[in-house]
Amino acid sequence: MDRYLNFDLEITKRTDQYQARVIASPNGEARHLFDFPFEQHELEQYINKFANTRSFILNEDPPDDSPSLSAETIAKEIRGFGQKLFDAVFQKTVSEVYRESIVSAKNKKAGLRIRLRFPENPELISIPWEYLFDARSDVFLSLSGTISIVRYMELSIAVKQMQITPPLRILVISSNPKDYPLLNIKKELDKLQQALLPLEKKKRVEFKHIENATLNKVTTILGQNDFHIIHFIGHGDFNKTHKEGVLVIEDDDGYGLQVSSHRIATIFQSSDASRLIVLNACEGGITSKENIFAGVAQSVVKKGVPAVLAMQHVITDTSAIVFSETFYGALSKGNPIDTSLSMARLAIYNQPNEIEFATAALYMRSKTGRLFGKDKKKFLLPGDKFIEEKRPAKITLAIFIVTTIAVLASITLAFGFYNILLGLL
């Protein structure tokens, strides 16, 4: 899918109910009030289960007091959760406008990008909206191949346009402080390198790693080099005093240093070339049940970085490799981030794995999703073939008619001026 039409959906709390409001879409606006489908304790139980999906897939003992469930059982629960969420939000006129917008997008050979906005209730951003399930179409929206789900933040600062050519330059930052639980960073790096190796051989990506990352190391390398993507591997934590998620890097003595979302956003923003930040905690890296990356992602996007991809919990090794290879491979060919993410989700789902496809959450302020330039031909390497997407017949005919009318009008106008000049002479 080369392009998407935007479907802007704002969700806000109104006393005892919530309001779903379609601000803009291919088929107009709509709104309705709805009751949130889960009590707070139910929502927390669901999110806790979803955070332990790795255990269910590998038949490990889940952490804490979480019940031991099979992967099949948790997959059914995920579907039920997603259906309840969808049925609550997409009701009445909102549902009508949504379905009409899907048809409009299909007629224009485009996808539909659902841009979720939570201006007054930021706590809603941590809900796993990627599990939205439409029973009428029997599909998870994020697996449809034509629908993208984005947590969107509209800012007055314009997104800087950039056109690059391969390779995509990726900076991997990892930290493993000695006063935090020891992480198997090598294992995570091996997975990422295994995924990127085919792309490196084709010169589609370049990969650089900073280990035992300190603030000084990170700021120095970002000041000296241009990286298109920054990929963080390490600990995430929740600062109870400031009530925000933080990234944990190392101080000069190797101990953990909690870096606030505002501070890390300022550091990442310093690199003009950076278009995407990927936040990934490896096993043992999440030290809180809070969605620690949600606040960091929002802060980074608000500072001007076009997109952040935040992993909502730890996933299995196989899924991590499949995700990275598919996602970075699609990005390196000039695809919009929506398309790249959709392909990666489907690649995980087709393993088969009916649980982990929704792990990644996309935070974005780019209006088109093309982070690295509009011209897809710029991403071609020797031997690649470019297949240009044909315009729909109706659009082609409309362009022909408008062009013809414009030419005839110009000719008529020219003859009119000519006659006026003759009359003056």
Closest Cα to residue 334, out of 191, 165, 197? 165
Statement to judge: residues 178 and 289 lie in one domain: yes
Statement to judge: residues 306 and 405 lie in one domain: no
The pLDDT of residue 126 is: 84
Residues recorded for the chain: 425
Where among 152, 178, 201 does a domain terminate? 152
Amino acid type, 151: R
Statement to judge: residues 267 and 148 lie in one domain: no
Statement to judge: residues 61 and 120 lie in one domain: yes
Statement to judge: residues 35 and 125 lie in one domain: yes
DSSP 245: E
Statement to judge: residues 45 and 145 lie in one domain: yes
Helix 215-224, helix 261-269: angle, nearest 10: 20
- Overall domain count for the chain: 3
The pLDDT of residue 136 is: 96
The answer on pLDDT for 380 being more than 70 is: no
Mean predicted lDDT score pLDDT of the chain: 83
Statement to judge: residues 362 and 412 lie in one domain: no
388 inside domain: no
First to last CA, the chain: 60
Write out the two tokens for 309: 């991809």
* Range of weakest confidence among 47-56, 86-95, 143-152, 254-263: 47-56
75 inside domain: yes
291 inside domain: yes
Domain around 307? 168-379
162 inside domain: no
Mean pLDDT throughout 336-363? 91
* pTM of the shown model: 0.82
Statement to judge: residues 336 and 399 lie in one domain: no
Statement to judge: residues 178 and 271 lie in one domain: yes
Statement to judge: residues 252 and 277 lie in one domain: yes
Q: How far is CA 259 from CA 235, 238, 242, in A?
A: 11, 11, 12
Please tell me the distance from the alpha carbon of residue 204 to that of residue 257, in angstroms, as a whole number. 34
Q: Find the CATH number of the domain harbouring 354.
A: 3.40.50.720
pLDDT digits (tens, 9 = 90+) for 65-76: 555 667 788 889
Statement to judge: residues 182 and 317 lie in one domain: yes
pLDDT digits (tens, 9 = 90+) for 269-305: 777 788 899 988 654 444 455 555 677 888 888 888 8
Statement to judge: residues 120 and 185 lie in one domain: no
